């Protein structure tokens, strides 16, 4: 089976790095940051910045650049791997599954995070969007993974914590598995059409190893 994993909120708790970089971007622009920033984890940056910057393209691009500068320097290290993830990944490897990452992070930001994992070699490929895109692109990245691996959609799963992950799965007729330890809600994942929801990594391992 081909198992495609989201990164933020699925493999890692990246709230500290992402929120700190968003605040930094607003500070650099002299614009007050929203009090609540947790919901920024998952959607494309331009999508989130635009309504708070009057949909001004120049300001939005400046905010994204400020975000990326801090993330490249510091933010990529400000995360932790969720408990139980490493054991679950090893279990899937032992079961003979192929693993890849499909993330909304640009590849240049995601790659050093993945490379630092003690289980980095478990993942055959890493898919990230064009850094200039305002869209999630999960559907197109999942499609690319299916083509690269020559995988049958019926033998593929997309695992993630936000509706973007499930939307991409549904668009490609693969099963979407929603994880409840991340940044999305049960309601969000169910409304998007998640095939099944899991509460912890060991439960995901049981489901996929079987």
Q: Tell me the average pLDDT across 179-193.
A: 95
Asked about 167 being catalytic, the answer comes back as no
- Average the pLDDT over each of 21-25, 26-30, 32-36 and give the range with the smallest value: 32-36
Q: According to the model, what pLDDT value does residue 105 have?
A: 86
Annotated catalytic residue, options 6, 8, 13, 167: 6
Residue among 168, 157, 163, 172 at smallest CA distance from 204: 157
User: Exposed, middle or buried by CB within 10 Å (0-12, 13-18, 19+), for 80?
Assistant: exposed
Which DSSP letter does residue 198 get? E
pLDDT at 39: 81
> 177 with 192: CB under 8 angstroms?
no
The neighbour count for residue 207, using CB atoms within 10 Å, is: 13
**Confidence class of residue 170 from pLDDT cuts 50, 70 and 90?**
very high
Q: How high is the pLDDT of residue 35? A: 87
Q: Is 181 or 40 the better-scoring residue by pLDDT?
A: 181
Domains and CATH numbers, the chain: 2-13+79-209 (3.40.50.1000), 15-77 (1.10.150.240)
Half-sphere exposure of 4 (CA within 13 A, CB side): 31
Query: Residue 136: pLDDT above 70?
Result: no
Q: Is the pTM of this model over 0.85?
A: yes
CA distance 163 to 188: 6
* DSSP β-bridge partners for residue 157: 3, 175
């Amino acid at each position: 089976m081909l198992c495609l994993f989201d990164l933020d909120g699925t493999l890692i708790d990246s709230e500290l790095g992402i929120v700190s970089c968003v605040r930094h971007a607003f500070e650099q622009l002299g614009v007050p940051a929203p009090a609540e920033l947790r919901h920024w984890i998952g959607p494309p940056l331009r999508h989130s910045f635009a309504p708070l910057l009057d949909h001004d393209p120049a300001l939005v691009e400046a905010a994204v650049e400020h975000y990326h500068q801090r993330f490249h320097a510091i933010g990529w290290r400000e995360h932790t791997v969720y408990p139980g993830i490493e054991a679950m990944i090893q279990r899937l490897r032992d079961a003979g599954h192929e693993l890849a990452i499909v993330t909304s992070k640009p590849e240049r930001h995601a790659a050093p995070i993945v490379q630092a994992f003690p289980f980095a070699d478990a993942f055959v490929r890493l898919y990230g969007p064009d850094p200039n895109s305002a869209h999630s692109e999960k559907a197109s990245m999942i499609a690319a993974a299916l083509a690269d691996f020559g995988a049958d959609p019926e033998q593929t799963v997309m695992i993630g914590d936000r509706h973007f992950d499930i939307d991409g799965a549904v668009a490609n007729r693969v099963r979407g598995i929603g994880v409840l330890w991340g940044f999305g809600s049960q309601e969000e994942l169910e409304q998007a059409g998640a095939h099944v929801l899991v509460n912890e990594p060991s439960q995901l391992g049981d489901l996929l190893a079987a």
